[in-house]
Amino acid sequence: MSVHQPRPAGVIPVDLRRLGSLSAALLTAIALTACSADMVEADDSKPSASSSTTNPSGAPGGTPDGAGLRLADAIKQIPVAEEKRTGYERDSFKHWVDEDGDGCQTRQEVLIAEAVTAPEQGPRCSLTGGSWLSYYDEVEVTDARKLDIDHMVPLAEAWDSGAHSWTPERREAYANDLGSERSLVAVTAKTNRSKADRGPDAYMPPAESARCPYLEDWVATKLRWGLSADDAEQTALLELAAPCEDSVVEYEVAP
Q: pLDDT at position 161, please? A: 98
Question: pLDDT tens-digit profile of 204-241?
Answer: 999 999 999 999 999 999 999 999 999 999 999 999 99
- Calculate what percentage of the chain has a pLDDT beyond 90: 73
Evaluate the CA torsion angle 51, 54, 55, 56 in order and state its sign.
negative
Q: pLDDT at position 224, please? A: 98
Q: pLDDT at position 67, please? A: 62
Q: pLDDT at position 239, please? A: 98
Q: pLDDT at position 50, please? A: 31
What average pLDDT is seen over the chain?
81
SS (H, E, C) the chain: CCCCCCCCCCCCCCCCCCCCCCCHHHHHHHHHHCCCCCCCCCCCCCCCCCCCCCCCCCCCCCCCCCCCEEHHHHHHHCCECCCCCCCCCHHHCCCCCCCCCCCCCHHHHHHHHHCCECCEECHHHCEECCEEEECCCCEEECCHHHEEEEECCCHHHHHHCCHHHCCHHHHHHHHCCCCCCCCEEEEEHHHHHHHCCCCCCCCCCCCHHHHHHHHHHHHHHHHHHCCCECHHHHHHHHHHHCCCCCCEECCCCCC
Residue of 44 and 122 predicted with greater confidence: 122
Residue of 13 and 130 predicted with greater confidence: 130
Question: pLDDT tens-digit profile of 13-65?
Answer: 333 333 333 333 333 333 433 433 343 333 333 233 333 333 322 223 344 44
* pLDDT band of 136, cuts 50, 70, 90: very high
Q: Give the global pTM.
A: 0.74
Please check the confidence at residue 138 and state whether its pLDDT lies above 80.
Answer: yes
Question: pLDDT tens-digit profile of 73-107?
Answer: 999 999 999 999 899 999 999 999 999 999 999 99
Please check the confidence at residue 187 and state whether its pLDDT lies above 70.
Answer: yes
Residue of 17 and 139 predicted with greater confidence: 139
